[in-house]
A and B are shown apart, each in its own frame.
Chain A
C-alpha cells in the first residue's frame, strides 16, 4: 500500500452527480424562490427621501484670493458629519416628532432609538475623477424610515443642519485665521516699538559720538588748530612789541633824568619806524602808533621841554604796555580754551567707530523685525479679504441641489438586490448541496475509474434496467412530490394569510415592493 500516493486519482464525480440530480435542483429552486419571496415580503419596507447636496467650488479664482478652508471636500464632508451627528443634534431632531416616542422612553430606550436613528442615516459622497485623484463634488443624504413622511422630514432637518454647520464652520475658521494674524501682528508691532526705543536710547547716550557727525568733527578740529596757530603768532608779535616799548620806557625815564636822552630815543624810534614801515602798511596801527610817539618826542623837544611833558610820555608808554599785556593774556586764555576744545574733539573722533559697530547691530535687528511686520500685515489683509469672502459665501460651499421629496416607493428592502440574492440562494443552495455530494463521493462511477483501478475497462456496462413497475413507481413518486410541493405552497400561503397579512394586502405590497405600479394603473 506504499504506492498509494502514486496512484492516479479517480475522475471527479461532480458532474455526474449534478447530472443525476438535475431534476431535483430544477424542482427545489422554485420552491426555495417562493420561500425567499415570502421572506422578502415580510421584511418591513423602508422609505428614503434622498437630498442631493453639492459642493460648489470657490467662485473667485483661488490665485486672487486664497480660501482659508483648504481641506478636501470629502474630508470636509466627513468632518461635517461628525459635527452634525452629535447626540444633542439628533435628539433635538427626534424630539420634534412624536413618531419616535422619546417623551415616554426610558434612558436605555432613548439610547437604543438613537443608535437606530444613526444607523438609518445614509450619507454617500458623490465624486468624480479629476486628473488622477477622486474629487468629491457633493453628497447624497437620506434617512430611512417605515413612514415616508418621516423619512422626508428628517432628511430635510439633517440637510439644514449640514448647511448651517458648514457656514458656521467656514466663517469661524476664516475669522479665526484673521484673529490669529492680527494678534500676531500686534505682537510684532510691540517688539518693533521696543527696538525703536532702544535705538533712540542708544542715540541719546551716544549723541556725541554718532558716526554721522564724524565729518563735522574733523572740520571743527582743523578750524580750531588754525585758530590756535594764529593766536600763538599774535601773542609772539605782541610780546615783541611789549619788549620794545619797555626798552623805550626805560630810555624815556633816563632822558627825563638828563638831556639828550630825547634825541637818542628819537633816533632809536625812527630806526624802529623804518623797520616797521618795511614790514607793515603805512596805516598799520603799530606804524601809526610809532609815528605818533616820534612826533610827540620831537615836538616835546621843540617846545619848552619841562618835567610834565616828559612824564606824560612815560605814562603813555606804560599804558601802551599794559594794554598789550592785557591783549596777550586774553589771547592766551583763548588759546588754552581752543586747546581743550581740540582735545575734546579728538576724543570724540576716536570713539566713533566703536559706537558705529553697536549701532549697526541694533539697526539690523530693527530692519528684520520691521520686514516681518510688513509681511504679517499683508497676510492679515489677505485673511481679512478671505473672511469677507466667506461671509459673502463666495468660497467653496454646500448647496442644496435637490431637496428631499416624499418617497412613493420603498427603497428597502432593495428589491433588485434581494431578488437577485433570493434567486442566487434558491439556485445556489441545491446546486451547492448536490455539488458537495458529488465532490465528497469517491465511489467508482465510470469506465475510466474502473480502468484506473483494475487496469482494463469493464467487460460491459449495464445501465439501470427499467421495468414497467419502475415507471409506475416513478409516476407515483412524481405525483406525490408535486402534491407535496403544492401542499407546501398552500401551507405557506395560509401561514401568510393568517399570521402575516391578508392576501389582498400581499398583492398590493408585492406590486409596490417590486415597483410594478406602472403596470396596474
Chain B
C-alpha cells in the first residue's frame, strides 16, 4: 500500500468514525470541557525525581556540569528561536523507525527548555502503542494519555510534575493496540487544539510514535504546528528519511537530529 492509498483509506475511515460518533460528540465535548476546567483549579501532582534517576536514564540536559548538555541547549535554542518567531507552541518529535531515540530526545529537549528559565513545557507522550516517557522518569502513573482519550480520567489527574520547575508531563501508562483509531477520533483533535490554546504560553512537546511504523503520525501531524525528525545513525536508510519527510511536510519540519552519531565527538566544540 503506497502512501496515497493509505491517505485515501485513512480519510474514509475518518468519515465513518465521524458518522458513528456524531451522537456522542456532544458528550465528549462536555467531558473535555469539564476536564480542562478541572485542571485550572486542581494543582498538578508533583512527584519529585532525583538527579540520579535522570542521569541513570540518560537525561543529562539538566546537568550543568555535563558537557553533553550543551548539545541539547543548542537544539533548544534553534527550536525555540524558530517557534517563537512563528508563534508556534506545539512540536512533534518523530523518527522513521522505532528505537531511534525520539523519547530520549523529547525528554532531554523538554528538560532543557524548562531549564531555560522563563519557558514552561508540557511533554506529552503521544506514543499510544508504546509509551516510554514514564520510564525515563521511572514513574508508575495511575492514568495516562489513553485514559483521557477513553474518557477514564481527566487531564488534571493525569498531569505530573517531576519536581522540575516549569516542566509538566502527560505520560502514558501502558500501550494500546488500537492506537491509530484512538488518535484519529475527533476528540483527540479537540484535545490537542484545546491544549494548544489553553497553554499558549507553554511549549507543548509531543513524543510521537515512529513515522513509518503506522499511520499515527500521519493522522496526528495536522494537529500540531511543527515537527522534528530524529535520525538514528546507522539504522536509517535514505528512502526511510525521504518518506518520513514527505509524511511530515504537511506542517513545517524544523529540522533533523542525528542521534547516536559516531562523528559527534569529532565535531564537538
Contacts and interface: CB of A to CB of B under 8 A. Distances in A.
A442 B267 CA distance: 22
Contacts of A10: 238
Interface string A451-491: 00110101111111101110000000000000000000000
Nearest to A448: B263
Interface string B230-255: 01011111100110010000000011
Nearest to B56: A467
Contact of A443 (B75, B235, B259): B235
Interface residues of B, number: 40
B55 interface: yes
A443 B237 contact: yes
Interface string B49-92: 00000011110100000001001101100110000000000000
B259 A444 contact: no
Contact of A456 (B57, B234, B255): B255
Contact of A441 (B58, B105, B234): B234
Contacts of B60: 465
Q: Provide the main secondary structure of the chain B interface.
A: mixed
Interface string B254-267: 11111111111101
Contact of A454 (B71, B101, B256, B265): B256
User: Which of A10, A445, A468 gathers the greatest number of chain B CB atoms within 10 Å?
Assistant: A445
B268 to A, nearest CB: 8
Contact of A447 (B72, B236, B258): B258
Contacts of A469: 56
Contacts of B257: 458-462
B74 A463 contact: no
B99 to A, nearest CB: 14
Nearest to A7: B238
Interface residues of A, number: 27
B255 A458 contact: yes
Contact of B263 (A460, A461, A465): A461
Contacts of A465: 58, 60, 68, 104
B260 A463 contact: yes
B264 A461 contact: yes
A20 interface: yes
Given A19-B262, A450-B258, A459 B78 contact: yes
Nearest to A460: B75
B236 A462 contact: no
B169 to A, nearest CB: 20
Nearest to A464: B260
A447 B78 contact: no
Contact of A463 (B57, B68, B234, B238): B68
Contacts of B68: 463, 465
B263 A459 contact: no
A446 interface: yes
B259 A16 contact: no
Contacts of A459: 74-75, 78-79, 228, 254-257
Interface in B131-156: none
Contacts of B104: 465
6 contacts: A454-B256, A458-B257, A459-B79, A464-B260, A465-B104, A467-B56
Given A458-B256, A462-B101, 14 more contacts: A442-B237, A443-B236, A444-B231, A444-B236, A444-B258, A447-B261, A458-B231, A458-B255, A460-B75, A460-B258, A461-B71, A463-B260, A463-B261, A468-B55
